Amino acid sequence: MNWSRKLINPVLDKEFRLRMRSPKSMLSVLLYVMALGGVAMAFIYIFLYLEQGGQQRFDPSMSRSMFYVLSFAQLVLIAFMAPALTAGVISSEREKQTLSMLLTTQQSSATIVLSKLLSSLSFMALIVLSTLPVYSIVFLYGGISPQQLISVFLFYLFVMLLLGSLGVMFSTLFKRTIVAIIVTYGAGLFIFLGTGLLFLFFMSLDSRDLMINGAPPVNSISWTGYILGLNPAGALISLFEPSFSKEVFYMMRGGSSLNSKAPIQLWQEFVIVYSVVIVLVLMVAIRKIRPVKRGSWMRRKSTKPQQPPESVSREG
């Protein structure tokens, strides 16, 4: 039995061949790794030679800081690349006038949408995994466990799935690729930057209320922490430092006792909330990929055969 034919449908097979075998894909991987490697080399040069006066010394704490910088740099690169890879998967088919032929095949709407999404995310996952040699610099000096590295890469996959799902949905809703890309970048900008600005805004309001009304009781939770849980950067920091979630929820409320815990880890809130968002946007994309003319449901209802009244059937 050929398992590849069972697991890979024709749409996914075509997307894999077109995306993975082009010279542009090889160049994208090369430039991505060079960009992240440049960040690593710049960090080593700045903090090792400039701040330490040229001393040849690199301790585990410096290695941990380098891991944080690489992780945030990779998160920013994913935010820029994921919408560009997914926001045109459906609208480009519509612009090339091949979407109608694709919809007439035996593939369902869910198969088409998920295959387009999976092919784009597979290429993005390949790019992210290709940066593992850069992270090997961190393990030369210690300070980071393999579990932390695995959890960060799983978080990257979830962020890619979130941005990719938004890109596929906007690609089905808008006919032009450029419009879908712009709207997807706008949604990603709100997730990455808008939620952080909202957290800072409401935190300033909360601090002003504390100055007017006085400090609340110890162990009272600040609701502004839930806003930061919607931000990828805040969720990523909570993966590095589990105590960060506790500090966010209690920092505006006069501190906390040693036995108190955060109501929820920021990364857990991020995964739960955006998992619902991913399911909803994919449902919208699957529903909207096939065009339905207005009034078609009314015509189907009018052409439905009417049952004879019960009184007439008895007289007959």
Q: What pLDDT digit, counting tens, does each position of 164-194 carry?
A: 999 999 999 888 889 999 999 999 999 999 9
Q: Is 160 a member of any domain? A: yes
**For residues 198 and 211, is the Cβ–Cβ distance under 8 A?**
no
Confirm whether 39 is domain-assigned.
Answer: yes
- Does residue 270 sit within a domain? yes
**Cα distance between residue 158 and residue 269, in whole Å:** 13
Cα distance between residue 238 and residue 202, in whole Å: 20
CA quadruple 266, 271, 272, 273: dihedral sign: positive
| 314 in any annotated domain | no
At 179, the amino acid letter reads: V
Q: Identify whether the C-beta of residue 134 lies closer than 8 Å to the C-beta of residue 37.
A: yes
**Higher confidence at residue 113 or residue 57?**
113
116: in domain: yes
In a domain, residue 188? The reply is yes
Specify if 108 maps to a domain.
yes
Tell me: the pLDDT tens digits for 77-132?
Answer: 899 988 888 888 888 888 888 777 777 877 788 888 888 888 888 888 888 888 88
* Residues 237 and 266: beta-carbon distance below 8 Å: yes
User: Residue 1: what pLDDT?
Assistant: 42
What's the pLDDT score for residue 29? 86
CA–CA gap between residue 189 and residue 23 (Å, rounded): 30
Residue 10 lies in a domain: no
What is the number of structural domains in the chain? 1
What does the pLDDT look like over 236-285, one tens digit per residue? 999 888 888 888 887 655 555 545 677 888 999 999 999 999 999 999 99
Domain span at residue 55 reads 22-291
- Please provide the DSSP assignment of the chain as one string: --HHHHHS-HHHHHHHHHHHSSHHHHHHHHHHHHHHHHHHHHHHIIIIIITTTT-----HHHHHHHHHHHHHHHHHHHHHHHHHHHTTTTHHHHHTT-HHHHHTSS--HHHHHHHHHHHHHHHHHHHHHTTHHHHHHHHHH----HHHHHHHHHHHHHHHHHHHHHHHHHHHH-SSHHHHHHHHHHHHHIIIIIHHHHHHHHHHHHHHHHHHH----TTPPPTTHHHHTTSHHHHHHHHH-THHHHHHHHTTTT---TT---SS-HHHHHHHHHHHHHHHHHHHHHHHSS---TTHHHHHHHTSPPPPPHHHHHH-
Q: What is the pLDDT of residue 255?
A: 52
Q: Look at phi and psi of residue 22 and say left if phi exceeds 0, alpha if psi is from -120 to 50, else beta.
A: beta
Percent of the chain with pLDDT over 70: 75
Q: What is the pLDDT of residue 215?
A: 56
pLDDT band at 137 (very low <50, low <70, confident <90, very high): confident
282 residue type, one letter: L
pLDDT for the residue numbered 270: 94
Q: Report the candidate in 82, 46, 296 with the shortest Cα–Cα distance to residue 171.
A: 82
